[in-house]
Amino acid sequence: MSGSEVLAAVMVGLGLALVGIGVLSRFRARTESLADILDLPYGERDVAVEPVSETRSPLVTDTIELAGRMVDQFDTRGSLQTMLERARIPMRSAEFVVVVGCMALVGALVLSAVTEQWLFGLGILLTSPLVGKAYLSRRIDKRRKAFEEQLPEALSVIASSLSAGHTFLRSIQMMCEESQPPLSDEFQRVVAETRLGGSVVDALDRMARRLDIKDLIWVVQAIRIQQQVGGKLADLLHTLADFIRAREDIRREVDVLTAEGRISAWVLTALPVFIMLAVQVTNPDYLQPFYQGWGILVLVLTTISMLSGFFIIRRMVNIEV
Give 203's contacts (C-beta < 8 A, 6+ positions apart): 189, 190, 193, 194
Q: Which residues contact 131 (CB under 8 A, 6 or more apart)?
A: 100, 104
Which helix (H) or strand (E) is 147 found in, with range?
helix 118-163
pLDDT (0 to 100) of residue 41: 47
Q: What is the pLDDT of residue 98?
A: 85
* CA separation for the pair 321, 319 (Å, rounded): 6
* End-to-end CA separation in angstroms for the chain: 53
How far is it, in rounded angstroms, from Cα 242 to Cα 257? 23
pLDDT < 50 positions in the chain = 1, 40-47, 49-54
Cα 98 to Cα 102: distance, rounded to the nearest angstrom:
6
* pLDDT the model gives residue 107: 85
Residue 50 CA, distance from chain mean position: 31
Per-residue b/e over 62-94, b at no fewer than 16 CB within 10 Å? ebbeebbeebeeeeeeeebbbbbebbebebbbb
CB 244 within 8 A of CB 151: yes
Contact 104, 125 (CB under 8 A): yes
pLDDT in tens, 121-165: 888 888 888 888 889 999 999 998 899 889 999 999 999 999 888
CB 297 within 8 A of CB 230: no
Domain 144-251 fold: Receptor-associated Protein (1.20.81)
Query: What pLDDT is stored for residue 43 in this prediction?
Result: 44
Per-residue model confidence (pLDDT) at position 34: 52
Please return the burial class of 278, using the count of CB atoms within 10 Å of its CB with bins 0-12, 13-18 and 19+: exposed
Task: Supply the pLDDT for residue 271.
Answer: 92
Residue 137 CB contacts under 8 Å (≥ 6 apart), including other chains: 83
State the amino acid at position 174 in one-letter form.
M
Number of H helices, E strands in the chain: 13, 0
Per the CB < 8 A criterion, the answer to whether 114 and 281 are in contact is yes
Q: Write down the pTM of the prediction.
A: 0.75
Pick from 246, 210, 204: nearest CA to 227: 204
